[in-house]
Amino acid sequence: MKDAAGAASVFVLALKPGDYEFYDFQFFSSSYSPTLGTTYTSVQAREKFNLPLRLKAGNAYYLGEFRSLCLGASLCGFHWRDQQGRDEPLARHYVPGLPTLDLLPLDYRSAAPYIIVPLPAGAGQNTLHETRP
């Protein structure tokens, strides 16, 4: 799938019930320069993080969109978004009979700053209300 922001894939994996985790990532890239030839680089999280997942029997889960982004040569991570409305029909196209997907709620705070999650509605706004007698 391609859009103005880049290309992406939708993955469907059959996993046994149990405890899983996201714990690290590594980005690989290559570039070509006439003077240097092809150079290869990799970037990974500076600190380990642990994002636990508990999968229950009989459930099908949607984890979300993880879009990679790099802000310079050494600062890379993922921007997470809920794109289930877009992704579930694509998954069903490739896996007929796929059960209804539930968004798996994860606490992404342990993965900051490597996984960036949008603030909940109203979270970034000043919600203090002035009261006067």
pLDDT digits (tens, 9 = 90+) for 10-53: 889 989 999 998 887 777 777 788 988 888 877 777 677 788 89
Q: Which amino acid is at 120?
A: P
pTM to 2 decimals? 0.72
- From the CB of residue 80, how many other CB atoms can be counted at a distance below 10 Å? 18
pLDDT recorded at residue 122: 54
pLDDT recorded at residue 43: 73
Whose tokens are 């978004």? That residue is 81
Q: What would you measure as the largest C-alpha separation in the chain, in angstroms?
A: 74
Cα–Cα dist 98/101, whole Å:
8
